[in-house]
Amino acid sequence: MRETALSEEILLTVEKPARYIGNEVNSVIKEKDKVKVRFAMCFPDVYEIGMSHLGIQILYSMFNSFEDVWCERVYSPWTDLHKIMKEKNIPLFALESQDPVLEFDFLGITLQYEMCYTNVLQILDLSHIPIYSRDRDENCPIVIGGGPCTYNPEPLADFFDLFYIGEGETVYRKVIDLYLECKENGISRADFLKKASKIGGIYVPSLYKVEYDDEGLISSFEPIYDDVPQIIHKEIEMDISDTYYPEKPIVPFIKVTQDRVTLEIQRGCIRGCRFCQAGMLYRPVRERDVELLKSYAVKMLENTGHEEISLSSLSSSDYTKLEELVNFLVDYAEEKKLNISLPSLRIDAFSLDVMSKIQDIRKSSLTFAPEAGSQRLRDVINKGLTREVILEGAKEAFIGGWTRVKLYFMLGLPTETKEDMRGIAELCNEIAKLYYELIPKSERKGRVQIVASTSFFVPKPFTPFQWAAQNSKEEFLEKAHFVNDSMHEQLNSKSIKYNYHEADVSVLEGVFARGDRKLSRVLIEAYKKGCLFDAWTETFRETPWLEAFEECGIDMAFYTSRERSLEEHLPWDMIDIGVTKDFLKREWMNAVNETVTPNCRAKCSGCGARVFGGGVCYEG
């Protein structure tokens, strides 16, 4: 019988103790003495968030398919348990074995969003692993970072032994085999890292030297050894049908954020929205075979007992076999009394037929993302939607029986004017007006509900807007209040609800999104001041962050409100994602000129992703 790392007394005092006991259905248990490598896979957020992440499930399934590897899971202890573990000096542990993370060979931490960075320090601290990579010895796990934030790893560079840049299915086996070879031959940790730097997609920050000029800009970024690569090329899995997929996802004991089976139908996006980092990072578009997806859907539902299935991709309506897949799932769902969730559908691609089929199973709100209130600004960001197309989509939704529509917009986009912001309120009003004109009073079920939400624009690396200035907190809030006032001026204001994101969090996210190695000191100071779970409204505190920046002598505005020169050496320039910098510069100019770039299926724009030799670039 396996003992839990936490006593019953502790488990009874913390919120949701099931977060920490492991042993869920479909979790993998192996015999320790029969494996050669132990890998702790960490999502640096609370269990409910981490358990909902598909990428972790894929890697967990892949690692555990290796006979000589046992992969276990680690999540951030919530604030109540964090306090107890610090007071009682209890080391952080993995769920499956309940063994301390310090005993593992690898600690892999996925970096999904910038506001988890203090949680990364929490993981290292509670694991009793030295925070700085330079202070670790042969007894410490190799700390690996993966996920979208590794495309600018520099704010965290001092804390990680290496970063895996790209999709995880490709070279992890090479990294593990190299580690085993070095271990068997008594080769040191430092020499392992140097050898690992030669594997595709592996970035070892300690092997590079950064120098700055008098203005704080990067003047040079060079490897310290001649045989260490100057450029790190992202890893990409071109045939995503012939790869690992979690046919037996772990079934949590408690309700998690995405409490359903997730079916990843494709990777990448053809659309080219200029604010969207994922749309650039994951090029080119690669589709999964539809027959394989049908098989996965049935197996995963049977193996978990979940009652809902969700299709996952950046733009699901661009999947070429969507209709066939949806028809199959609808028939299967009707028979089994299951729900289907179809996120990421574009208004211009909606078919009334598909909508009505999904509606027959579960009626819920419908989500559209116009992103900007005016056509001018939609052209700037290359959203590719017209007012007419948006209204036609809303019309189809209302005819199909929907009465609640969610609309997502952004504030603070480059070139934004008051007319663009007022356009958000006016578009909401037009959609509400359309409902009342379209649906006879006798057929209405109360008022139509238009829920408009605005997030604040954060410029991200590897997008055409990576050179753009970001608004200040005060500017963001002023814009949100302007939109709110505009909403109240509309004739159908009683049918419209308006929400906006936290401005202080968006500014902080902007700092770390485009930050450099100098920010590591700020992160440590903020963590010392108790900053943790900064992505959570109830735990985020702005004041200690501002104090940390001031004490470190670092100006946040240097990273946010400053527009970059096109010639500036950016902290992430050592990474090659396939999409070229020249293409991003052209798109930045197209944005300034309000010029729309066609999607990848309409016309190739020469972004550079053809270099990978497949996907949408080679269709037809």
pLDDT single digits (tens) 410-460: 999 999 999 999 999 999 999 999 999 999 999 888 899 999 999 999 999
Describe the chain by its helix, strand, coil percentages, rounded to 5: 40, 15, 45
Lowest mean pLDDT among 319-323, 340-344, 451-455, 537-541: 340-344
Q: From start to end of 308-437, where are the E strands?
A: 308-312, 339-341, 366-371, 404-411
Of residues 396 and 184, more confidence is placed in: 184
Return the percentage of the chain with pLDDT > 70, whole number: 96
Of residues 391 and 362, more confidence is placed in: 391
In which band, very low, low, confident or very high, does the pLDDT at 397 lie, cut at 50, 70 and 90? confident
Give yes or no for residue 348 having a pLDDT over 80: no
Domain with CATH 3.40.50.2300 in the chain: 8-233
Q: How confident is the model over 478-486, as a mean pLDDT?
A: 98
- Read off the pLDDT of residues 279-291 as tens digits, 9 standing for 90 and up: 999 999 999 999 9
Give yes or no for residue 590 having a pLDDT over 90: yes
Q: Which CATH superfamily is domain 8-233 in?
A: Response regulator (3.40.50.2300)
pLDDT at position 514 is 98
- Read off the pLDDT of residues 523-533 as tens digits, 9 standing for 90 and up: 999 999 999 99
Q: What is the pTM of this model?
A: 0.96
260-363+578-620: what fold?
A: Transcription Regulator spoIIAA (3.30.750)
Domain with CATH 3.30.750.210 in the chain: 260-363+578-620
Contacts of 513 (CB under 8 A, 6+ apart): 114, 152, 458, 459, 460, 461
In angstroms, the CA 468 to CA 244 distance is 38
pLDDT at position 336 is 87
Q: How confident is the model over 129-139, as a mean pLDDT?
A: 98
Give yes or no for residue 223 having a pLDDT over 80: yes
**DSSP string of 147-166?**
SGGGGS-GGGGGG-SEEE-B
In which band, very low, low, confident or very high, does the pLDDT at 402 lie, cut at 50, 70 and 90? confident
Check if the beta carbon of residue 207 is closer than 8 Å to that of residue 189: no
In angstroms, the CA 281 to CA 267 distance is 10
In angstroms, the CA 354 to CA 368 distance is 16
Token pair 């809030």 is at which residue?
Answer: 477
Return the percentage of the chain with pLDDT > 90, whole number: 86
Contacts of 550 (CB under 8 A, 6+ apart): none
Strands 69-75 and 37-43: parallel
Give yes or no for residue 359 having a pLDDT over 70: no
In which band, very low, low, confident or very high, does the pLDDT at 349 lie, cut at 50, 70 and 90? very low
Average model confidence (pLDDT) for the chain?
94
Helix axes 352-361, 322-336, angle to 10 degrees: 20
Taking residue 54's Cβ as centre, other Cβ atoms within 10 Å add up to: 16
CA distances from 52 to 45, 55, 65, 288 (A): 11, 9, 21, 21
In angstroms, the CA 515 to CA 158 distance is 13
- Read off the pLDDT of residues 28-62 as tens digits, 9 standing for 90 and up: 999 999 999 999 999 999 999 999 999 999 999 99
Q: How confident is the model over 226-249, as a mean pLDDT?
A: 96
In angstroms, the CA 149 to CA 131 distance is 19
pLDDT at position 361 is 47
pLDDT at position 351 is 56
Alpha helix positions (H), 408-462: 418-438
